[in-house]
A and B are shown apart, each in its own frame.
Chain A
Amino acid sequence: MLRSEWTKLRSIRSTPLTLTAAFAVAVLGGLFSATGRAKDYPSWSAVDKAAFDPVNLSFDGLAFAQLAFGVIGVLAISSEYTTGQIRTTFAVTPRRRQVLLGKACVLGAVALVCGELLSLVSFVVAQLGLRSIHVDVSLSDHAALRAVAGAGVYLTALTLLGLGLGALIRHTAGAVSAIFGLVFVVPLVAANLKDWITWPSNWNLWTAGNALISTRPPVDGAPSPSMGLVICVLYALVPLALAMVLIDRRDA
């Protein structure tokens, strides 16, 4: 099952293409942020300088690269529904939960490896950009190491969220829109609601991801890194669990 799902993932051109795009966007995004910041930094106030998080900055490109990971997760199953491949898949493996579980394992592993690699490269490149103003951080700083690892975990969570939504919605455009909404729209709306209710802004995916990749203490009741991890895991697993229940009940 795992070998079959691995073959499926690697034999479609969109997988390497999307990952390459994610790498380019993430690394360049981090680098541009770093060089831009390095230019302004000398003119900042002492307060701004103290609040500056040179590690978090490495992941500025992640805001866009994360979509690519979500899309890979979505496509892994939605493309099967839209092309008709799913009927072949389910006829070969009538125990459909095994199919979904196999996809989750293979995608999770691929996303974790690529995500960690991507966050490491983004971090190293961005820190090179910050070297001129002597605020660059090395990986031996334990908070930096946690942030780099956390960025990879966040991308993995997003990939599995994509898979879960893809399996529930069964249409590529619909599931990608749902990801887009969760990652971009919900945090925006939540931020606007903050004066009335605070839980949406503390429990949304982007805040959780931010908690994972920051090295400054959380402000305004934002989640701690470990709470951020819990939220990310919930986002990854709840849609997947729901899909596990529904996949056997629906006609293919």
Chain B
Amino acid sequence: MIEVHELSKRYRANQAVDGLSFTVQPGQVTAFIGPNGAGKSTTFRILLGLDRPNSGHALIDNKPYCELERPVLRVGALLDANAAHPGRSARNHLLCIAQAAEIDSKRVTAVLELTGLGEAGNRRVGGYSLGMRQRLGIAAALLGDPAVLLLDEPVNGLDPEGVRWIRRLLRQLADEGRTVFVSSHLMSELQLVADHLIVIGRGRLIADTPLSEFTAGGRSLEDAYLELTADATQYRTERTN
């Protein structure tokens, strides 16, 4: 279970997260959505102990991430597709993680096969397409077979086969009783896979609700989302219609 309580984080003049509270339950896919700059990635970074909050706390299984024993076995994370050294092969990238986390190196081959990188595993990550780097990030998240998954925009850059694959993967992981917390901007995709929604804007919570309630009355998730976040969108394009 993930528990965020009164979380605030300021980067110089920018209040990225502002008194944010929510919980994420196991056994379902929880979508984390909000406009660009809403504070989703910041929340992920704080959850993983990479950034320190100014106030509040973010707990996983009742503990701050930094206090978890062997965190890779409890929490798998995809932060962004570029969190790998481009000069290293995918296999060596995963091997470094496995060795630091004391995971059997057989798992490296297993997650490479699982994410469809089996044949490309010995190639350098710098030569990968965005979709392949996403697959590598997902492979790294699954390496420790964790009960909690934090995936920041995992669908970006994936080909249609990959999109369908990750949709099924998320469903399967949730059905196995894991906590699956996914951010994305692809509303049509989330409508197919999410059970629960956490919507934020300007660092604050806007909605925390089951998908079925959010889209009640036959509205699409996209319509409901745009209506709800209209006031919280900071970076907006001109209306073209």
Contact = CB atoms under 8 A, between A and B. Distances in A.
B1 interface: no
26 contacts: A1-B99, A1-B100, A4-B97, A8-B88, A11-B89, A11-B95, A13-B87, A14-B87, A80-B85, A83-B84, A83-B86, A84-B80, A84-B83, A87-B79, A87-B80, A88-B97, A88-B140, A90-B49, A91-B49, A91-B50, A91-B71, A91-B72, A92-B71, A94-B49, A94-B65, A251-B50
A246 B229 CA distance: 39
A224 interface: no
Contact of B85 (A1, A79, A90): A79
B80 A92 contact: no
B47 to A, nearest CB: 10
A69 to B, nearest CB: 19
B51 A252 contact: yes
- Ranked nearest first, the 9 interchain pairs of A and B with the lowest CB-CB distance are A4-B100, A4-B99, A11-B92, A94-B66, A251-B51, A252-B50, A3-B99, A84-B82, A85-B85
Nearest to A250: B52
Contacts of A12: 85, 87-88
Nearest to B97: A92
B123 to A, nearest CB: 13
Given A85-B85, A88-B84, A92-B72, 14 more contacts: A4-B99, A7-B95, A8-B85, A87-B48, A87-B80, A88-B79, A90-B49, A91-B48, A92-B97, A93-B100, A94-B49, A94-B71, A251-B50, A252-B45
A91 B73 CA distance: 12
Contacts, number: 82
Query: What range describes how many residues of A lie at the interface?
Result: 20 to 34
Identify whether the interface residues of A are mostly helix, strand, loop, or mixed. Answer: helix
A7 B51 contact: no
Interface string A1-26: 10110011001111000000000000
Contacts of B101: 92-93
Contacts of A251: 45, 50-52
A92 B48 contact: no
Interface in B28-51: 45, 48-51
Interface string A60-98: 000000000000000000011001110111111111000
Interface residues of B, number: 31
Nearest to A95: B66
Contacts of B84: 83-85, 88
A92 B49 contact: no
Nearest to A1: B100
Contacts of B100: 1, 4, 89, 92-93
Q: Looking at A4, A87, A251, which has the most chain B CB atoms within 10 Å of its CB?
A: A87
Contacts of A1: 99-100
Contacts of B87: 12-14, 79
B138 to A, nearest CB: 13
Contacts of A14: 87
B46 to A, nearest CB: 9
Interface in B156-170: none
A105 to B, nearest CB: 14
